[in-house]
Structure formats: structure tokens, C-alpha cells
Structure 1
Amino acid sequence: MSLHPVFQSVTDRIRKRSAASRRAYLDGIARMRDEGPLRGRLSCANLAHGFAACGPTDKARLRGEPTANIGIVTAYNDMLSAHQPYESYPEFIRETARALGHTAQVAGGVPAMCDGVTQGRAGMELSLFSRDVIAQSTAIALSHDMFDSSVYLGICDKIVPGLLIGALAYGHLPAIFIPGGPMTPGIPNKTKAEVRERYAAGEASREELLEVEAQSYHSAGTCTFYGTANSNQTMLEAMGVQLPSAAFINPGTPLREAFTREAVARAVQISALGNDYRPLGELIDERAIVNAVAMLMATGGSTNHTIHWVAVARSAGIILTWDDMDQLSQIVPLLARVYPNGEADVNRYHAAGGNAYVFRELLEAGLMHGDIPTVVEGGMARYAEEPKLEGDRIRYEPGPRASADDAVLRPVSAPFEAQGGLRLLRGNLGRSLIKLSAVKPEFRTIEAPAVVVDTPQALNRLHAARALPQDFVAVVRYQGPRANGMPELHSLAPLLGMLQNQGRRVALVTDGRLSGASGKIPAAIHMTPEAARGGPLAYLREGDIIRLDGEAGTLEALVDADEWQRREAAADTAPAPTDYGRNLFGYNRANVSPADQGALSISCGPATTEGADWDYDAEYDLGADEAALASPHESKDN
């Protein structure tokens, strides 16, 4: 199937824009690769340190003839439900590698914080920067020159992007990501949301709310809604760096164990000492990045990835922009309804056909690159297959050609919506993003006065004082990366959702993040430039009329131009972050890049800035693509 012309043109533009930085990146990993397995180049003292704690069998292999040594980078802790299953993985991986005649060592651990615990708390101001700490920690773990291949134990939010960025710094090493799987279903997500809104209205007790939350988040595994953690899994598979259909197998099952066993065997085979060398830095090219974005749009995934995948791409020398994402979203249809974009959880999504079904639909519609190399032989076609357990091994067979539940999954020929779940908003307030897939069409446009606050707590206080207008746009500013680390503002969702349920028209505009679990109200998020950089949000005043049109992709303050020019920026009234560890991240806040450049507080990718401020609209005449955008699927076979 030939590619959709817009899909191909976006890929080509990314390739052209990234030519210099991608070349510099590939040259760098080629130099590392050409030095060969570096363990053999260590001095005797270096090498002895590296295997000192190993048992006799592993020690003999590490000091003798070259055998593959797999570096394990783990984000295990037993406070995160998603990461608790990883406790036993290192020993299982070591045993599996040993049985194959090779070795494995835990190279290092990385931090893993839970946004579900830190929502609305001071710790959330460390959340975004934890991604960069994880990337640095991964690089430190791999710095010992002991490894020929690598596997990554991480699932959630900032953890997978951080692991990816760190792994790409060692792009000459093959890499496979090993998920732990989602928890089994709890109470319906709709029920949980309803109790949250009743609590916000003072109609439910804390005990009732805690009970419903405990029934929802009830066991080991990822949270079952389709937030950032589970979006990570589908995007990893779309790039071909995780085994096909590995994402949503529950923890503690024979099939989950078989996937881990197979990942270890494959990590050996694709090492430089195996027979099928596949370094990560060569696998993740512009086609893989575009595949990941297409999967994000088709499944209505997390808005957080509009930041994270820009950063991941730059780590591989690839310059991805919000304009690219916006254009892809306009041609990739929404094929899945999973909470918060629907009522189903990821278990029901997987049972309906899951990733294998979506991949086949996108590949056949020309909305995914099928020719990319992956960690398995056969390319992306393998990701449209379904795993079956045969003894203790995995056997693949053709994936489903029809959805088992059309309330959850639909084909390209009859999607939930013709466009994906994301839209770029432009206007005199800057550039921001909105997740349309979670918002009903009748709520996607609003014109109302601004209620301007600098913290989410201030909005809650106004509500408690009954001081909010009937209809309004909540502007929560000074929440960007430079201001306070860009915390998620998901704690506002129950309040604003409750007000919308009352028949009021409400929306959110912010330079902060919302969440992978963003809800049903229109929310213009990641506003760039942020208020702390002198962005337009700093000039808004209480009562200014704001018009947000999600369908048209516009966001405007309807303020007289002369009046706007006379205004001075409002001061940030937030207290200095000197507690709860926030003071340790002052350097990150001062040096972080804007949200649309990945909100990076570390050096990332090759040492070149060419293309960093690419002017997408000025460089290309998009007129040739506008007809295809107007009718997204008619030209897919051209």
C-alpha cells in the first residue's frame, strides 16, 4: 500500500529538516560501534571490577571468549503499581541469558515517580524534570563499557521517554523495552469520574472517594486508563523497539513471562556478538518517529507526548515539531475509544483487537511506515500479528481483521472521527495544544471572559467563594517549564467537569500540562511562549474575552490592539520553590527549553543547533496538501 501523500510529505520534511543533525548523530554512534564490544578493551583492573560480584559461570564468560552481556536498566520500585512487577525481572533475565550461554547484569536503576501520587502536590514540580534525570541516569548505567545489548524495565509517564533518551545516547547498543502489563479491570472509569465530580461538588465524602479510587487502582500493573503510561507502550511498538503485542498482557501470567523470555533471547541475537545486529540509533529514524505520532493520534493518546516525543526525536538527531504532529492528526483518523476518550479500559481495548488491529488498519491505509527495521525480523507487518502461547514460547498468527467491539475499536473506513485526537491552536496568545478526542463536538468552541489565576489552588478558592462567572475560561499561568517545572493540573479536571455538567460553558488555558488522563472540558495546554518567558498569557487581565475554537485551531484574546500594547506583564506571584526538593532543580528551570522544543533541561542529541528554530510555515508551501487534508482518506491509494 502506498503512503498517504501528506503522511509521506511530513516524513520527507522531517528528514530534510533533520539532515545535518541526523548525520552528526549517526556518525557518533558509528564511531562507538566501530570500536567493537568495549568490554574486551577494558584494562584488567577495569574488567575485574566489572565481574567481581558475579558467580563462577558468569565470571568465566565475562573474562573469557566474547559472549553477549545484556545491560539491564530498571525503574523498579514497589510504590508504583506499574513497576512493582519488575522486582523479580532481573533474576529471571539473568537466568534466561545464562541458559542461552550469555550473561546479564543490572547496569543501574533510574528514579520512577508516580504522577498519580504527586497530583496537586509540590512533588509534581519535579515530575517533568525527572525525565531528564532518568535519561542521565540511564547514560551513567551504560557508561561502564560492559554491555553488548540492553533491555529496559520501565512503563510510566516520564520514565519511558527518559529511558529512550538515555538509550539513544548509546545508540550503537541494541535495545529492547520490556513492559510489565496493566492491572486487571477495576470499577468502570466512568463511575470513578462521577464520584470525583460529586466530591468536587461537596456531594460525596472523602471515605466514598477513597473507596472508589482504591477499587480503581487495586493491584500491580499500570493504571488501566489510556494515559501517558499506556500511550508509551503503543508508541514503543509503533517504533518497533518492543516485541509485537507485548504491551497489554497482565502481570503474573504465563504469556507475560514468555514475552520477557523472548525479549532476552532477541536482545542476544541483535547484539554485535549475535547474528542480526540492530543498534537502537539506526532503528529509530524519522519514519519510526512518524509511526509513533500516527499511533498516538489513532488511539487518542496522551498530550504529554507532544513534549516527550519532540525530546526523544532530538536525541536521535531528528527535529520533530508541533506542526508535524498537527498535520498528521488531521489525516490520521481516531480508531479507538479508551478512557478518557471513551468508557473502555486498556484490557477491553486489547480484547477488542488492540494494537495489532490498529497497526494493520494504519498500514493498509498508508498511514504508517511498514518498511522500518524493528527489533524483530519482518518489520512492522509483524506488529499486526497476534501472540499465542505454545508451551513456554510465543507463536504469532495473523491478527484480527475485524474489531471484536466496535464501541472501542473501529476501522479506518468507519472511524470514530476522521481526524486524530490532537489539534494545534494558534493565535495572539501563542501556540498551544488541545486534545479534541476527549471533548464532545458541542463543547469544542467557547467565547467567554477570562478568570486569571497563577495557581490551580486559587481557582478552587474562587469556586468555594462562589466568585466564578457562569461561563468562563480559566487561565492558569506561570505553570510552564521555566516557571515551576510544568506540573500537571489534572486536579482541576473534576471541578471544571462538574461545572460543565451544570450547563455552564468552561475551558482551561494554561502554559502548564494537564495530564494523559485529560478529561472532557476544552483545554488549551502547553501554551508557548510561557508566561515566565514574557509570553502573552502574562498580559491577560481578568474579564478579557477569550475565544477558543478547537475545530478551527484558533485561540484569541479579543482585546483591542492598542490596549494590548499598553499593558505590562503581570508578576509571577508564586512563592520561591525552596522546599520538597524543588530547590535542587533551580538549574533545570533556568535552562529548560520551551515546551514545543521538548522542555529539555539537558543537552540532547548531537552538538548542533541547525534546524532548532525551524519556521515550518514559512519554509514550505502547504497548499499542495490542503486538498488531501480536506478529504483525508480519498487519496490514500494515490
Structure 2
Amino acid sequence: MTLNPVVEEVTQRIIARSKPGRGAYLDLIDRARDEGVHRPNLSCGNLAHGFAASGDDKPAIRGGKTMNIGIVTAYNEMLSAHQPYGRYPEQIKIFAREKGATAQVAGGVPAMCDGVTQGQPGMELSLFSRDVIAMATSVALSHGMFEGAVLLGICDKIVPGLLIGALRFGHLPMILIPAGPMPSGLANKEKIRVRQLYAEGKVGKKELLEAESASYHGAGTCTFYGTANSNQMMMEMMGLHMPGASFVNPGQKLRQELTRAAVHRVTEIGWAAGGTDTAEEDYRALGHCIDEKAIVNAAVGLLATGGSTNHVIHIPAIARAAGIIIDWDDLDALSKVVPLITSIYPNGTGDVNHFAAAGGMPFVIRELVNAGLAHDDIRTVYGTSLSDGAREPRLDEQGALHFDAPPETSLDDSMLRPVSAPFQPEGGMKLLTGNLGRATIKVSAVASERWTIEAPARIFTRQEDVVTAFKAGELDGDAVIVVRFQGPAANGMPELHKLTPSLGVLQDRGHKIAFVTDGRMSGASGKVPAAIHVSPEAHHGGPLAKLRDGDMVRVCAHSGVLEALVDRAEWDARDNVAPPPPEQGVGRELFAMMRRFADPAEKGGSAMLSEAGL
């Protein structure tokens, strides 16, 4: 299939723009392969430390003739999505031995849960936890003990952080291993109904906790299509998972066999470092797999599935770690030609389990490739093309893993449709520009009649103050709710999803409501039009700092406009409001350095990448 001309044009300009950085990156990983720190080059003391506690694997690691796989794990027991990883290392070691290889836990990375910290002070650590994860991944892989790696992580900042850190060791073959979503619980619409009733004071905390507990009820990712599950989609679109691995529930035999297949595959795509027995002819380094085409595929998948807005920050950051530059203009151009072909909550009613049952990622990949919207000729971890990943995993009667073609047609066209009959002709996100800056808006869950809102601004600097004003009845009318000083430099760019029920109630009362912020909204952003990630941020003198209560503001996803309807002379004459002092406590003061050096949202909102010269 001929590639869509816009997809081709965007890809080529990314390649041209990235040429210096990509060239330097490829040179870096080539040198790391040929001259870097490797097990055969370690001193006797180095090596003895590395295998001292390896038990039965000690002779093989000491001998240096077989691959040793590093395991970087985000396991903890507080995240439902990561709790299943507790037993994975022992399984991975067994699976590695089946191929004559060994495996060691190289290190752990922190994994915070935005669901637990949502609306709490700890959320101000969330975005920068991605940088911490990347640095922890680098520490784990820095010992030179490994010829390959598997990355155990799923949720919001964890997958981007793992990739950013792992790309510094991009000469190694690596595969990401998911653990799958929890089974479906309370219907998402019912959960939202109870949340809004609670916001209005019509039900109490007991009823709210019952609803939340019925929704988030077991091991696995949350089942809505937020950042965690968007991460899994992107890994499949980039060819970094085993085919169809994303949405198989934890605890199933199929889940375990997909993990086995991933470990076996890592042993087959390495290189003969110092005499190790690896498949030199099928060498697939992570840094070669993640190239410009793979990054474009991730963006196309995001748009086609109505994925998380957080990825307009994460995709540029991951790309930079591989020497690639992608910006919001690229995403906006792609959104104009990539149709929305899924309807997963919050865009629709069903969750990721229903999506997977309808055909899931194998169906999506096949549709996008056949329509010329995704690059088929990428270097995946499993085959010769992305199309090789358009397969559904299953177990035969003997329990052996097989991969089948996806259904010819969607098994539920309320969840999943072909490119020829999409839910919307364009992708799920748009770029807004104007005298208030550049912003992202997710429209896949917003009714088209609400794509344009023109209303007076109500301005806040803390999300708690919005909730207080709502409860006091002070927001009973049309309004553009503005929460500023929420960018990376101001307070770490927290998600402001706590405001969703209140804003939803105001909209349901018939008011014209929009939300504008230089912070983030949840990956599960829903029905209220929200212009987010406004850049430059108010803390750095961005125009949101000029806005005043009562100014008319226009948010229009149809025309891509975000502007204050204020006379130009008056606007230019205004002084910026001074930023509030940073909050203390919950470790926020420890992240002051990151706030000081943070990049703008469009470059990824990272302090680490900027200071590394990436």
C-alpha cells in the first residue's frame, strides 16, 4: 500500500530536522557496541561482584559465552498494573535458561500511581518521576553485565522513562513486557455518574468509595483508555512488544507464554559480544528499532485510537533520547489525515477489554498499514515488518503459543471500525494557537457542538480553589476556567483530573464550559473541551500570566484557535502576574533543580534531556 502523502511528508521533515542529532546518536550506540563497557572487558573483581549471588547461573555468567539478560523492573505492590511483576524475574530466569541464557534483575525503578496521587500534592512529582525512572534505568544497565534486557513497566511515566533511559544503551536488544489490564469492573459511565453526584453533594464518601472500588478492583492496568493503556498501544505500533501482548489479563496462561516468547526472542536478536552465543545475523538493537518511522507510527496510533494527551509530551521526549525531533505541528498535520477508528472509554462506553475482544491492536495495525497511514517497513523486535505484529496470540490444545490473523471485520463496530468507516474523519487531538500560546486539545471524547467555546475567564492558580468556588456556587454560568502556573517550571506540571467531575456538572447544567491550563489533564480526559499544556507556561512569562478575570476567551478546535479577545494595545500594555512561591512538602522541594531546568511542554517537559544536550 502506498504511504499517505502527508504521513510521508511529515516523516521526511522529521528525518531532515533530526539528521544531526540522529547521526550523533547512532554513532554513540555504535561506539557503545564496539568499545563500551561489556562483560568480557570487566576486571576479575568487577565480574566477581556481578555474579557473586547468582546461584546456579554463576558458571554460565562467569564463562561469558551466553547472553545475560538484564531485567529492569517497575514492580511494586501499590500499583495494580505493576503488582503482577513480583514473580516475573523468577519466571524470566527460567525462560532464559530454556535458551541457554541467563538473567539477572539489573535494578528497579520507581513507579508512582497518578490514580493515587490525583488531586494530591504528590502529583507534582509525577512528570519528573519520568526523568528519575530514566536515570534509574541507566544506573541499572551501567554495569556492563548484560548483552540484552527486558523492561517491565506499563503505566503513565514508567514506559516513557524506561525507554528514555534504555535508549542510552541503545546498542542492546530489548523488549518491553506488559502484564495486562485488570478484568472489567463497574461500567465507566456509572463510575462517572457517581463521581458527579458526589461533586454535587448528592451522595456521600461511602457511596463514592464503593463505586471506585468496584471499578478498580484487582491486579492489572485500569481498564479505561488513559496513559497506561496508550503506552501499550504505542509499544505495539513501534514493534517493541510481542504481537498482541498488550491487553491479555494478568494470571492467564497466555500471559505467561507471551512473557516466555519475549525472553526467548531477546536471546535471538543480540550480537556476539566477547564470544557470547547470540544470533549476530539478526541483531536488533533498541536504538535501531526506535527510528523516525517508529516514532511516527506511535503518533499515528495515538491519533487513530484517541489516546492519552500525555503522549504529546512523552513522544517528543522519547524521540529526543534517540536523537529525533518531533513537534506539535507534526502531530497536528498527522491528525488531519489519520481517522479515529476506536471508541474506548472515555471516548466511548467500552473499556480496553472490550476493545481487545473486538479485534484490538492486531486489527488496528492491519487497518493503518493497509490504509498507508503507518510505516510497515520498521525494524520490529519480532519480524520483518509492523504487519508481522498484526496477529492475535492464542494457545493451542497443547498449550503452545500461536499467532493468528485478526478478524476480517470488527467484532464490535461500537468499539472498533475500519479506516473506511471511522468514528471521526480526523484524529483525536488538535493543536491550538493564538495570543495565549500553543496548546493541545483532545476532541475524540468531546461533542462537536462543544468544540467552540467563547466565554469569560475565571482564573485560578490552584485546582483546590476551583473546587471551592464550584461548591460555593460561584461558577454557575458560562466560563472558561483557567488554572495557570501549573507548567513544568512552576510546580512539575501535575494532572488536574480532580476537576473533571465539577466541570462535567457545570456542562451538564447547560453552561458553556471550557478548561485552559499550562498543566496537564488526565489521559482519561473526557467530555469537557480542555486546552492543556499551554506553552510558554505562565511561570516563564507566558501569556496566560496576562489574562484577567472577565476577559473573553475563545477556544475553538474547529479553527485551531486559543485566544483572549482583548484589544491588542491593552493586551500589550499589561504586566504579567507574578508566579506564586513553590509549595513545600511531600518531597516537592527535592525536585527544585528539575523545575529550574525543565524544558517547555512541547519539547517533552524534561530537565534531564535539556541538561544532557539532547
Q: If the length of structure 1 is used for normalisation, what is the TM-score?
A: 0.94
How many angstroms does 1:464 deviate by? 2.0
Residues 398-547 of structure 1: matches in 2 within 5 Å?
Answer: 398-547=405-554
Answering whether residue 390 of structure 2 is matched by residue 384 of structure 1, we say: yes
Q: In the alignment, is the contact (CA less than 8 A) between 1:21 and 1:606 conserved in 2?
A: no
Q: State the alpha-carbon separation in 1 of the partners of residues 209 and 304 from structure 2.
A: 33
Specify the alignment match of 2:116 in structure 1.
117
Is 2:304 the counterpart of 1:305? no
Give the drift of 1:581.
0.3
Partner of 2:275: none
1:34 and 2:37 correspond:
no
Alignment of 1:13-32 (within 5 A): 13-32=13-32
Which residue of the partner structure matches residue 353 of structure 1? Answer: 359
Alignment of 1:310-325 (within 5 A): 310-325=316-331
Aligned counterpart, 2:298: 292
1:431 and 1:127 map into 2 onto residues whose CA distance is 22
Matches of 1:503 and 1:577 in 2, distance apart? 36
Confirm or deny that 1:260 pairs with 2:259.
yes
TM superposition shift of 1:443? 0.9
- Identify if the C-alpha distance between structure 1 residues 16 and 605 changes in structure 2 by more than 3 Å, giving closer, same or farther: farther
User: In the TM superposition, what is the alpha-carbon distance from 1:36 to its structure 2 partner?
Assistant: 7.3
Q: Measured at CA, do residues 407 and 40 of structure 1 come closer, stay the same or move farther in structure 2, by a change above 3 Å?
A: same
Does residue 172 (structure 1) correspond to residue 171 (structure 2)? The answer is yes
Partner of 1:184: 183
SS at match of 1:144: coil
Shift of residue 577 of structure 1?
2.3
Deviations 1:322-370 (A, max 9, x none): 1001111110000000011011100000000000111111001000000
Taking the aligned partners of 2:322 and 2:170, their CA distance within structure 1 comes to 8
User: How many angstroms apart in 2 are the aligned matches of 1:393 and 1:67?
Assistant: 26
1:67 Cα offset (Å): 0.3
* Equivalent residues in 2 for 1:53-92, closer than 5 Å: 53-56=53-56, 58-92=57-91
Q: Deviations over 1:548-577 (max 9, x none)?
A: 11111111100011111221111223x432
SS in 2 for 1:145: coil
Distance in structure 2 (CA, Å) of the matches to 1:586 and 1:604: 15
**Identical aligned residues as a percent:** 58
Unaligned runs of 5+ in 2: 273-277
C-alpha deviation, 1:62, in angstroms: 1.1
Asked if the contact 1:317/1:606 (under 8 Å) is kept, the reply is no
Residue 346 of structure 2 aligns with an amino acid whose one-letter code is P
1:315–1:604 contact (8 Å) kept in structure 2? no
Output the amino acid matched with 2:377. Answer: D
Q: 1:603 deviation in Å?
A: 3.0
Structure 1 unmatched ranges of 5 or more? 609-638
**Counterpart secondary structure, 1:376:** coil
Q: Secondary structure at the match of 2:457?
A: strand
**Residue 365 (structure 1) aligned to one of 358, 363, 371:** 371
8 Å Cα contact 2:200/2:471 also seen in 1: no
Contact persistence 2:484–2:519 (CA under 8 A): yes
2 CA distance for matches of 1:3 and 1:243? 25
CA distance in 1, matches of 2:567, 2:328: 29
Mapping of 1:131-280 within 5 angstroms?
Answer: 131-273=130-272, 274-275=278-279, 276-280=282-286
Write the distance in 2 (CA, Å) between the matches of 1:138 and 1:285: 20
Q: C-alpha offsets along residues 415-446 of structure 1, whole Å, 9 cap, x if unaligned?
A: 00000100000100000000000101111111
Aligned-pair distance for 1:386?
Answer: 1.4
Q: Secondary structure at the match of 1:177?
A: strand
* Residue of structure 2 equivalent to 1:582: 588
In 2: Cα distance, 1:269 partner to 1:261 partner: 13
Matched letter for residue 293 of structure 1 = A
Shift of 1:65: 4.5
State whether residues 302 and 308 of structure 2, in contact with CA within 8 Å, keep that contact through their aligned partners in structure 1: yes
Cα distance in 1 between the residues matched to 2:608 and 2:595: 11
The aligned counterpart of 2:50 is: 50
After TM superposition, the structure 1 stretch with the greater mean CA deviation from structure 2, 378-387 or 367-376, is 378-387
Determine if contact 2:598/2:610 at 8 Å carries over to the other structure. Answer: no
Contact 1:450 1:542 in 2 (8 A): yes
Paired positions, count: 606
| Residues 210-260 of structure 1, C-alpha deviations (whole Å, 9 max, x = no match) | 000000000000000000000000100101111110000000001000000
Q: Contact (CA 8 Å) 2:40, 2:64: kept in 1 or not? A: no
Which of these residues, 591, 595, 601, is aligned with residue 597 of structure 2?
Answer: 591
CA contact (8 A) 2:173 2:269 kept: yes
Compared with structure 1, are the counterparts of its residues 469 and 202 closer, same or farther at alpha carbon in structure 2 (3 Å cutoff)?
closer
Match of 1:96 in 2: 95
What's the CA shift for 1:289? 0.2
The answer to whether the 8 A contact 2:599-2:610 is kept is no
How many angstroms apart in 2 are the aligned matches of 1:406 and 1:592?
43
Contact 1:262 1:393 in 2 (8 A): no
Q: CA deviation at 1:606?
A: 7.4
Is 1:334 matched up with 2:332? Answer: no
Work out the CA distance in 2 between the residues paired with 1:382 and 1:604. Answer: 36
- Taking the aligned partners of 1:392 and 1:19, their CA distance within structure 2 comes to 47
SS at match of 1:603: helix
Greater mean deviation of Cα atoms: 215-224 or 27-36: 27-36
User: 1:194 corresponds to which letter in structure 2?
Assistant: R
The AA in structure 2 aligned to 1:69 is: N
When the two chains are superposed, the root-mean-square deviation of aligned CA atoms in Å is 1.1
Shift of 1:114: 0.2
Q: Deviations over 1:479-537 (max 9, x none)?
A: 00000000000000000001111111111000000010101000000000000000000
Q: Distance in 2 between matches of 1:99 and 1:387?
A: 21
The Cα offsets for residues 249-302 of structure 1, whole Å up to 9 and x where unpaired, read as 000001000000000000111111321211000111000000000000000000
Distance apart, 1:607 and its partner CA:
4.1
Check conservation: 1:449, 1:542, Cα contact below 8 A. Answer: yes
SS of the residue 1:326 aligns to: helix
CA distance in 1: counterparts of 2:309 and 2:133, whole angstroms:
20
Counterpart in the other structure of 1:620:
none
Cα distance change on mapping 1:114 and 1:312 into 2, 3 Å: same
Cα deviations across residues 39-62 of structure 1 (Å, max 9, x unaligned)?
Answer: 001000000000000113x11111
